[in-house]
Amino acid sequence: MEDLSQEEWASQLAEDTNAVVLDVRTDAEVADGIIPNAIHIDIFKGQAFIDEVEALDKDKNYYVYCRSGNRSGQACAIMDQLGFANAYNLEGGILEWEGDLVDKD
């Protein structure tokens, strides 16, 4: 797990051909917009969150964010314990995000 600044996260993500963006916010928060191409798994789902994360491809690089960076840090720690090699936490979360947001599909 690694904490990345907004700039590091965005530039590393842009260069990463094996990247998956993961939004761990609640449904209500996601209704305000989501980073393009992100998948959404609410960390507050407890065991269901762990089950959904475990089903993901552990060989991918995960760029994880939430509202402020706290829950995504927890999500990265969980992913670390589950055997994911690369999980990157967005410091400051979506509150400090300056990139595009789209409506969730």
Which sequence positions are flagged as catalytic? 66
| Angle at 43 (CA atoms; ends 47, 81), nearest 5 degrees | 65
- Tokens coding 81: 């314990």
- Residues contacting 59, CB < 8 A, separation 6+: 18, 85
Task: Identify any residues that bridge with 23 across adjacent strands, giving them in sequence order.
Answer: 40, 65
Minimal CA–CA distance to 93: which of 69, 63, 70, 77?
A: 69
